[in-house]
Amino acid sequence: MVGLCGSVMKSSHGLMAVNGKPNGGLSSEEAIRVLKSISSDPEEAFSFFKSVAQLPNVVHTTETCNYMLELLMVHRRVGDMAVVFDLMQKQIIYRNLNTYLIIFKALHVKGGIRQAPFALERMRKEGFVSNGYSYNGLIHLLLQSKCCKQALEVYRRVVSEGIKPSLKTYSALMVASGKRRDIETVMGLLEEMESLGLRLNVYNFTICIRVLGRAGKIDEAYGHLKRMDDEGCGPDVITYTVLIDALCHAGKLDKAKEVFLKMKSSSHKPDRVTYITLLDKFSDRGDLDTVREFWSEMEANGYVPDVVTFTILVDALCKAGKLDEAFGTLDNMRKIGILPNLHTYNTLIGGLLRVDGLNEALELFDGMESFGMKPTAYTYILFIDYYGKSGEPDKAIETFEKMKLCGIVPNIVACNASLYSLAEMGRLGEAKGIFYGLKKSGLAPDSNYSLR
């Protein structure tokens, strides 16, 4: 057992000898080593585990607890496993994914972590009583495992038991629901937070603005921005950038500029993400003058252009038909030590093909590998699309086959472009072959086809 000086004394089974520390300390590595040495006797191992937990300078870790849980599981000592779980809660030892999977296995719950809502009921019947910290942790584990539906089920259980989830848990659930475009759940969580007396912070409001904005509910997004001001929870740079992105996404670029000006007037300095958002969206619209305006302001505010911002500028120049200036920008990038990336080359190739510069595009394509760039499916798609819409379907199919020979798996866009070319030639048999090959590979055929 454990002596008063902190040394682990020899037990009746003979093997529990660990050198005592001057201050009664014992490392988790030593604890696991002893547990392994006596694993054939679960009674002695469990006694040692509990004794170690009482030492003043020993803190069990997730690893020691999980080892003990697994050992007890093997010997079907579920009641003792509940004791270990409770110890982890009391000593605030992190319960990780493996902790729960060991417990689920002991309770004969199959299906992994996504079975948590069902497993919790069985755990309670076997003496595993979760506290608020455990529930919050389990919800986060479920969200990390992409089990949003199950995380919400656990959340509802928590609330029904009268336990208040943490602000962090609410935020995580809102983010996960927002990614699923589930506006109703996001707004419902916001209301429930308020009903529990939790004070909303800038992060919660920003999540709502992002979700509402992406759903095209611009007026409601603006309403939350105003509410932030009214409640003394001023928006930050991220909030403004999120709203700007939402406005741009909805095609309201003039409104986005207004928000940008409001942002600056409120003493918030736009960051690199803000500028990239504006540059990208105005480039998409072909508004080269505004892109140049934001570019100059970005540099004036101390942000040095990088490969991302340069590529956006190249794209804007290509869309404006200024190919010479676009290639001049490419040369300038290299001179100042910024290496173009694959997206830069694809942008230039797309720009050349847009003005029927096929030979120059092929020359750039052939030279990509010398710059360390390997073409992707999208690079080939640019040519397949060009050939198909230029009345050269044979070359489109030839490029499609060349792509496959290079070991590049065709994606849905490449297949759509090739199907278009085959249909134009009346080669329906080959088109059907690609169509059924698409389904066989697990890709879902759709009705979309547009690169321009």
Q: Each residue of 321-339: pLDDT tens digit?
A: 999 999 999 999 999 999 9
pLDDT of residue 424: 61
Residue 318 belongs to a domain: no
Residues 147 and 259 in one domain: no
Q: What mean pLDDT is reported for the chain?
A: 86
Residues 44 and 120 in one domain: yes
Residues 204 and 151 in one domain: no
* pLDDT > 70 in the chain, percent: 85
CA distances from 35 to 22, 39, 55, 105 (A): 22, 6, 16, 21
Residues 33 and 151 in one domain: yes
pLDDT of residue 322: 95
Domain final position from 101, 129, 162: 162
Quickly state the pLDDT bin for 231 (edges 50, 70, 90). Answer: confident
Domain final position from 120, 143, 162: 162
Domain final position from 138, 162, 186: 162
SS (H, E, C) the chain: CECCCCCECCCCCCCCCECCCCCCCCCHHHHHHHHHHCCCCHHHHHHHHHHHHCCCCCCCCHHHHHHHHHHHHHCCCHHHHHHHHHHHHHCCCCCCHHHHHHHHHHCCCCCHHHHHHHHHHHHHHCCCCCCHHHHHHHHHHHHHCCCHHHHHHHHHHHHHCCCCCCHHHHHHHHHHHHHCCCHHHHHHHHHHHHHCCCCCCHHHHHHHHHHHHHCCCHHHHHHHHHHHHHCCCCCCHHHHHHHHHHHHHCCCHHHHHHHHHHHHHCCCCCCHHHHHHHHHHHHHCCCHHHHHHHHHHHHHCCCCCCHHHHHHHHHHHHHCCCHHHHHHHHHHHHHCCCCCCHHHHHHHHHHHHHCCCHHHHHHHHHHCHHHCCCCCHHHHHHHHHHHHHCCCHHHHHHHHHHHHHCCCCCCHHHHHHHHHHHHHHCCHHHHHHHHHHHHHCCCCCCCCCCCC
Residues 123 and 175 in one domain: no
Residues 158 and 184 in one domain: no
Choice between 120 and 28, residue whose per-residue pLDDT is larger = 120
Quickly state the pLDDT bin for 2 (edges 50, 70, 90). Answer: very low
Residues 97 and 223 in one domain: no
pLDDT of residue 393: 78
63-77, 227-241, 313-327, 431-445: range with lowest mean pLDDT: 431-445
Buried b (16+ CB within 10 A) or exposed e, 202-218: ebbbbbbbbbbbbbebb
Q: Each residue of 355-407: pLDDT tens digit?
A: 999 999 999 999 988 888 899 888 998 998 888 888 887 888 888 888 888 88
106-110, 269-273, 396-400, 436-440: range with lowest mean pLDDT: 436-440
Q: Does the pLDDT at position 292 exceed 90? A: yes
6-10, 196-200, 276-280: range with lowest mean pLDDT: 6-10
Residue 448 belongs to a domain: no
pLDDT of residue 296: 96
pLDDT of residue 445: 47
Residue 292 belongs to a domain: no
pLDDT of residue 423: 61
Q: Each residue of 157-189: pLDDT tens digit?
A: 999 999 999 999 999 999 999 999 899 999 999
Q: Tell me how many domains the chain contains.
A: 2
Residue 442 belongs to a domain: no
- Region 94-119: mean pLDDT is 96
Residues 105 and 173 in one domain: no
Residues 152 and 172 in one domain: no
Which domain CATH number covers 254?
A: 1.25.40.10
- How many angstroms separate the CA atoms of 227 and 204, rounded? 12
Residue 338 belongs to a domain: no
The C-alpha angle 436, 437, 441, rounded to 5 degrees, equals 120
Which domain CATH number covers 50?
A: 1.25.40
Q: Does the pLDDT at position 105 exceed 70? A: yes
Residue 138 belongs to a domain: yes
338 - beta bridge partners?
Answer: none
- Region 218-242: mean pLDDT is 89
Residues 183 and 245 in one domain: yes
Phi then psi dihedrals of residue 18, to 5 deg: -130, 135
Q: Each residue of 400-423: pLDDT tens digit?
A: 888 888 887 665 665 666 665 656
pTM of whole model > 0.85? Answer: no
Residues 113 and 33 in one domain: yes
pLDDT of residue 294: 96
Residue 12 belongs to a domain: no
Residues 147 and 184 in one domain: no
Q: Each residue of 426-436: pLDDT tens digit?
A: 665 555 555 55
| Residue range of the domain that includes 137 | 27-162
Residue 391 belongs to a domain: no
pLDDT of residue 230: 86
pLDDT of residue 8: 46
